[in-house]
């Protein structure tokens, strides 16, 4: 069974631009979560989706948004990029919300 797939693996953007990251969950998994990982803040929760509905949202500004499609694939979007948005963005999927999460390799976003 294929794991969680995140694309792209690396991304370089400049301040003020916007970016869209993609996550394909494990087949059959209906819950997708997103996390931001930085050396200073560690792992911080961004969003959680189940069956196309956002169930939880972390403490991030409105520039961060996401969605989940009917096939459970998810995207997150960051608008008006800032230097502080440089991070590893991890996506995780699980069968249901209370089940163990399986992570992808992440997207490394660098802002110049």
Partner 1 sequence: AQTVTQSQPEMSVQEAETVTLSCTYDTSESNYYLFWYKQPPSRQMILVIRQEAYKQQNATENRFSVNFQKAAKSFSLKISDSQLGDTAMYFCAFRGNTPLVFGKGTRLSVIA
Q: Which residue number, 18 or 56, has a Cβ lying nearer to partner 1?
A: 56
Bridge-based pairing state of the strands 87-94 and 102-103: antiparallel
Expressed in angstroms, the distance from the first to the final Cα of the chain is 37
Query: CA-CA distance, 67 to 82, in Å (whole number)?
Result: 21
Where does this chain bind partner 1 (CB under 8 A)? 33, 35, 42-43, 45, 48, 56, 58, 88, 90, 92, 98, 100-106
Provide the minimum distance between the beta carbon of 59 and partner 1 in the complex, in angstroms, as a whole number. 10
Other C-beta atoms lying within 10 Å of the C-beta of residue 74:
25
φ, ψ for residue 98 (rounded to 5)? Answer: -95, 10
Provide the minimum distance between the beta carbon of 43 and partner 1 in the complex, in angstroms, as a whole number. 4
**For residue 111, what are the β-bridge partners?**
13
Provide the minimum distance between the beta carbon of 48 and partner 1 in the complex, in angstroms, as a whole number. 5
Q: Which residue number, 17 or 96, has a Cβ lying nearer to partner 1?
A: 96
Q: Which residue number, 11 or 88, has a Cβ lying nearer to partner 1?
A: 88
Provide the minimum distance between the beta carbon of 56 and partner 1 in the complex, in angstroms, as a whole number. 5
Q: Which residue number, 27 or 80, has a Cβ lying nearer to partner 1?
A: 27
Residue with tokens 């520039």: 63
């Amino acid at each position: 069974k294929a794991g969680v797939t995140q694309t792209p693996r690396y991304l370089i953007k400049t301040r003020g631009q916007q970016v869209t990251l993609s996550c394909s969950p494990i087949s059959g998994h209906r819950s997708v979560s997103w996390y931001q990982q930085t050396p200073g803040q560690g792992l911080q929760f961004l969003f959680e989706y189940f069956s196309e509905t956002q169930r939880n949202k972390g403490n991030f500004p409105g520039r961060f948004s996401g969605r989940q499609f009917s096939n459970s694939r998810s995207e997150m979007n960051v608008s008006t990029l800032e230097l502080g948005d440089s991070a590893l963005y991890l996506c995780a999927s699980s069968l249901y919300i209370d089940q163990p999460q399986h992570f992808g390799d992440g997207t490394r976003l660098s802002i110049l």
